[in-house]
Amino acid sequence: MQLTNQSSILITGGTGSFGKKFVETVLQRFPNIHRLVIYSRDELKQYEMAQQFSDRDHPGLRYFLGDVRDRDRLTRACEQVEMVVHAAALKQVPAAEYNPMEFIHTNVMGAENVIQACMDAGVKRVVALSTDKAAAPVNLYGATKLCSDKLFVAANNVKGKRDLRFSVVRYGNVMGSRGSVIPFFLQQRHHGVLPITDPAMTRFNITLEEGVDLVLWALEQAQGGEILVPRLPSYRITDVATAIGPECEQPVVGIRPGEKIHEEMITTSDAYTTVDCGSHYAILPAGSNLPAYCEAMGGTPVPSGFSYNSGDNEHFLTVAELRQLIQSHVDQAFNVQLEPVS
């Protein structure tokens, strides 16, 4: 299914960091899109977003107040919609440990509500956003997103004869997203101290633009049932601190509850049903026809025992690369020439 000006799309969590970049990108490519529904629960964020993306300039825009916990409202919002991107979630790891049921209601039950609403409203393509923390989760946030992934993958088993595909996109930390380490370090560098959780810590990195492009590709090309994992570079937390504040102290404060030293997006247990498609991997459901998928998508099965881990990655961003990315994607006023990089 191709995206065109005649397409109709709904995005949950549409006023979040990803949602705003998704809407911006779609409107740039399809300025006269038939219908683009921004579904979220915060009226202030919708009001502020409407100042940037007005329905006067884009008549297909619709701002729908609603919560993914409300299945009836979701079903109404999905009417006359062909494609749904599910980006709504609670995602702060410490908050999940303290408020577990709130995360379960939104991330798990909300995912099931999206699935049921899409089946009831006649939606044809669904892409749900996941996280690296859903692979072998050690915190409640990751566990809820793993449950969400499983729900969307399994939904393909109960769609009946509907022309409907559910897929998942799983990627690492989004550079500059709210609550992430780079904006925190940019704020803290003026105090001369950048706290390091653990000197060995690594993370995958993806820009908002790259995340949006992957989701748009998945809406058009995903076969249904797969979890798509892009090839991404990693960074060392100490390199991020050096890139942002080379003169700052880096005291080690210890990892937070539920954190990992390295993030993993594909576990060795996933390897048996994982296909290498070049720019990305696809984790297929158990019992899938791997040869048929490889033929359709031009991929090859990964070797036995394969895993995809931020600590074992082939590509690590350098301090200089991090500075360039921060200026390009997070803060244009950031001075990338703080000091020479050896």
Residues annotated as catalytic are 133
| Paired residues of 39 in beta bridges | 12, 64
CB atoms within 10 A of CB 1: 14
DSSP single-letter state for residue 6? T
Closest of 111, 113, 114 to residue 143, by C-alpha? 111
Place of tokens 């409640």: 140
Report the run of H or E that residue 276 belongs to, with start and end. strand 274-276
All residues at 6 or more sequence positions from 332 whose CB lies less than 8 Å from its CB, including other chains: none
Nearest CA-CA partner of 12 in 36, 35, 38, 31: 38
Angle, alpha carbons 277-278-280 (nearest 5°): 70
Look at residue 236 and give its three-state secondary structure: strand
Residue 291 burial by CB count (10 A; 0-12/13-18/19+): exposed, middle or buried?
exposed
In the block, residue with structure tokens 């993370």: 203
Q: Tokens 């809407």 — which residue?
A: 23
